[in-house]
Structure 1
Amino acid sequence: MTGAGAGTGGAQAGSRRDPGRRRALLEAADRVIQREGPEASMAAIAAEAGISKPILYRHFGDKSGLYQALAERHTRKLVEGIREEFSRVGSVRARTRSTIETYLATISANLHLYRFLMHRASAEDAATHSAMSTMIRGVSRELAEVMIADAGMTGPAERTRAYVWGHAVVGMVQTAGDWWLDHADEVPREAVVDGLADLILDGLPAVAAEGRVLELFRE
């Protein structure tokens, strides 16, 4: 344990001195995971980088450190893409469709990495699971705040509803995306985008008590 702790400190210091080396190691990990799938081993990643496994761990502290670095690297890109699409000027329907499209396109283009981070790494490592959960909650919260601003959901009950919906929508899209990845050969991505957009924009407004709130969602 003492050696691992010392390695963690050295990894952090080394990363600050040579971010290019750290980036190269993460790119090696990306290549192996994309090639071999979510079961890619640490030994294979080290070999791809041309180093031994202990040296790989030294750069990140331990396997958990590598997992978290990969999670931060890829979830940041995904979240930035989602934010960019949903913050565009246009109707809520157009923005919703483009945001869902961006999410599905990103996870399908990086299928092995997505499954590695969302399933394997999160299952193996509590810190990575926490980091991924925090990211998902953050996106949910941002979506709720957009609902509040765009639909005028300013009352306490309406704000609560917006936060409930924000978390429900993100969870629904994530779960539907997982299902679609297993059926992508049979189900066109556009069908999933349309189905989710219809459910979000027509299904949720139908349960609203105030009809005035959700006319915006039918643009």
Structure 2
Amino acid sequence: MSPSTRADGRDTRWAEHRRARRAELVEATMKAIRRHGAGVGMDQIAAQAGTSKTVIYRHFTDRAGLYRAVVAAVDDLILRDLGSALATPGAGDDPRALVAAAVDSYLMLVERDPEVYRFVVTRPLLDTPVSDDPVAGMTSRIADQVTAVLAARLRREGRDDRAAGTWAHSLIGLVRAAADHWVAQPGREPREVLARQVTDLAWGGLAGALRPPDRPDVPEESR
């Protein structure tokens, strides 16, 4: 084995170790958030991780880097749940079921991890504005997944799919606004109730937008 090969092997193992350690620190951060609430501090996060703030910063550079890593983890969870919901048999053929699946998969994470969601949207670790918006990036990726499903449906019908992005991003913006309001309510109503309310509101607009031009009304089974 040549020296360069041995060096490459060490580099690979070190990179894998760093990825694993970053994942452990993100998980510890989320546990600290669940334990102490969305306003958790770096000292509490370090204590939960069993390490020092210096070690955390070594892996994430600063507080903003750790915050972005948590947002990315939450993003992955929502995309995973949304992908499963959209893959449910019939969801792609029933547009109202598609809307309901997208709405409920987002709200399920909020209900399951309300403090983590509050942490993401209130950004307690960010002392100053950042050049990018991690939350906007997260919701954009979620909307892109819904866009793909809506566009595929429109293409199957031989229709222009360019409006799919507008509809999907509007839908996810609506869900996020409703979720932000809902999670802040001390006596909030059940998730199922909110999901139905948001679905009804969104479907009221999408039903007309998705209606083929040669069909003057929407079939009863799609309402």
Match of residue 78 from structure 2? 78
Partners of 1:213 and 1:142 in 2: how far apart?
29
Partners of 1:148 and 1:122 in 2: how far apart?
37
Task: Specify which of 106, 110, 113 is matched with residue 109 of structure 2.
Answer: 106
Moved more, 201-210 or 20-29: 201-210
Partners of 2:133 and 2:216 in 1: how far apart?
34
Unaligned runs of 5+ in 1: 1-12
Larger Rg computed on CA atoms? 2
Q: 1:120 is matched by which residue type in structure 2?
A: R
- SS of match in other structure, 2:51: coil
- SS of match in other structure, 1:126: coil
Q: What displacement does 1:53 show?
A: 1.4
Partners of 1:132 and 1:214 in 2: how far apart?
37
Matched, 1:137 2:137: no
1:116-174 Cα offsets, whole Å, 9 max, x none, are 112215864526x533322222222332232222134755xx43432221111110011
Q: 1:63 is matched by which residue type in structure 2?
A: R
Q: 2:154 is matched by which residue type in structure 1?
A: A
TM-score calculated relative to the size of structure 1: 0.78
Contact 1:140 1:166 in 2 (8 A): yes
Q: What does residue range 86-105 of structure 1 map to in structure 2 within 5 Å? A: 86-90=86-90, 91-105=94-108
Match of residue 10 from structure 2? none
Q: 2:138 is matched by which residue type in structure 1?
A: M
TM-score calculated relative to the size of structure 2: 0.77
Q: 2:25 is matched by which residue type in structure 1?
A: L
Partners of 1:14 and 1:133 in 2: how far apart?
32
Match of residue 205 from structure 1? 207
Q: Figure out how many residues of one structure are paired with residues of the other and give that number.
A: 204
Please give the root-mean-square deviation of Cα atoms over the aligned residues, in Å. Answer: 2.9
Q: What displacement does 1:34 show?
A: 0.9
Partners of 1:102 and 1:141 in 2: how far apart?
15
Contact 1:201 1:218 in 2 (8 A): no
Contact 1:82 1:102 in 2 (8 A): yes
- SS of match in other structure, 1:159: coil
Moved more, 35-44 or 187-196: 187-196
Q: What displacement does 1:215 show?
A: 4.2
**Per the alignment, do residues 123 and 205 of structure 1 end up closer, same or farther by CA in structure 2, a change over 3 Å counting?**
farther
